[in-house]
């Protein structure tokens, strides 16, 4: 509430190219962005055990030219402007941020959605 943001309302809203989104991350705090690609394969992302590719990801770019995310923001929820939780941030490259769809996260963890 102190940021004037919509409270989380639900989940299971698929991201669409052009959607405006926001997140509050540990490193960069509150940032706003736009979904540039809604369903894509991202990779390789380098991890200690080797490179990984991610299907059904979406790509976000900042609205103001600064970084939407930085190292330490992984795990941040990605929200639509109306408060729907739509994704989980997992990587970025300084220009683009990559997120997986929240419904895929819920399915992988066998968690029921908030919807």
The pLDDT tens digits for 30-64 are: 999 999 999 899 999 888 999 999 999 999 999 99
Burial of 39 (0-12, 13-18, 19+ CB in 10 A): middle
Task: State residue 94 phi and psi, 5-degree precision.
Answer: 95, -30
Residue 64: C-alpha distances to residues 27, 31, 50, 112 (Å): 17, 9, 33, 35
- pLDDT for the residue 47: 85
Band (111; pLDDT cuts 50, 70, 90): confident
Average pLDDT (84-96) is: 93
Determine the Cα–Cα distance for residues 64 and 111; give it in Å rounded to an integer. 35
Task: State residue 104 phi and psi, 5-degree precision.
Answer: -70, -35
- pLDDT for the residue 92: 93
Burial of 82 (0-12, 13-18, 19+ CB in 10 A): exposed
Query: 6 pLDDT exceeds 60?
Result: yes
Band (8; pLDDT cuts 50, 70, 90): confident
- pLDDT for the residue 83: 84
Average pLDDT score, the chain: 89
Band (12; pLDDT cuts 50, 70, 90): low
% the chain with pLDDT above 90: 66
């Amino acid at each position: 509430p102190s940021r004037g943001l919509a409270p989380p309302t639900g989940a299971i809203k698929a991201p669409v190219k052009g959607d405006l989104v926001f997140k509050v991350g540990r490193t960069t705090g509150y940032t706003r962005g736009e979904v540039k690609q809604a369903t894509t394969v991202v990779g390789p992302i380098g991890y200690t055990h080797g490179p990984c590719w991610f299907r059904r990801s979406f790509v976000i770019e900042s609205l103001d030219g600064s970084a939407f995310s930085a190292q330490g923001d992984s795990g941040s929820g990605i929200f639509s402007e109306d408060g729907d939780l739509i994704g989980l941030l997992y990587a970025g490259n300084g220009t683009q941020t990559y997120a997986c769809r929240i419904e895929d996260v819920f399915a992988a963890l066998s968690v029921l959605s908030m919807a």
